[in-house]
Amino acid sequence: MGSGYDIYFTDMHSNLHHNQIDDLPSWCLHAKQVLDFWAVAYYPFHVEKEEGKMPIEDIYPDEVLVKDWNKIRHFLQNRDDPDFPVFLGYEWQGSGLDGDHNIFFKNDGEMVHPLRYGELRKKLGRHGAV
């Protein structure tokens, strides 16, 4: 006997990096071919490698984040494909003490990057985020 639920497939952790922003249309096309809906998880971090030292992961400067985020938002807002839902999102890491979390918005939202998870929840509480 069936559960009464429909089953949908997606990838909630397909990280889109800064150097891939211009490939967003092809990412979306691929997602449409293999998924039922897609949740873009923008990855706002980069790795700095210094010879003889451990690589360090750090968040991009604000001007890079704003530019990337606006490109993603613009692309999603101007898509003409109502049969394939796509959700705006990003990965949050804070100070690194609370783990990584992917944040997704039902419609639209702003990236916030507080250092702790409790602060993140407070800031996103008014944005309709999952």
d(CA 124, CA 126): 5
pLDDT of the residue at 1: 57
pLDDT of the residue at 51: 86
d(CA 22, CA 10): 22
Number of Cβ within 10 Å of residue 90's Cβ equals 25
Residues 86-115, mean pLDDT to the nearest whole number: 93
CA geometry: angle 43, 97, 56, nearest 5 deg = 55
Give the pair of three-digit tokens for residue 1: 């006997």
Angle at which helices 62-77 and 24-34 cross, to 10° = 50
d(CA 73, CA 57): 25
d(CA 65, CA 17): 11
Confidence of residue 56 (pLDDT cuts 50, 70, 90): confident
Q: Is the pLDDT at 7 greater than 90, yes or no?
A: yes
d(CA 34, CA 55): 34
pLDDT of the residue at 27: 96
Reported as a single tens digit per residue, the pLDDT across 103-129 is: 999 889 999 999 999 999 999 986 688
Q: Is the pLDDT at 76 greater than 70, yes or no?
A: yes
Q: Is the pLDDT at 2 greater than 70, yes or no?
A: no
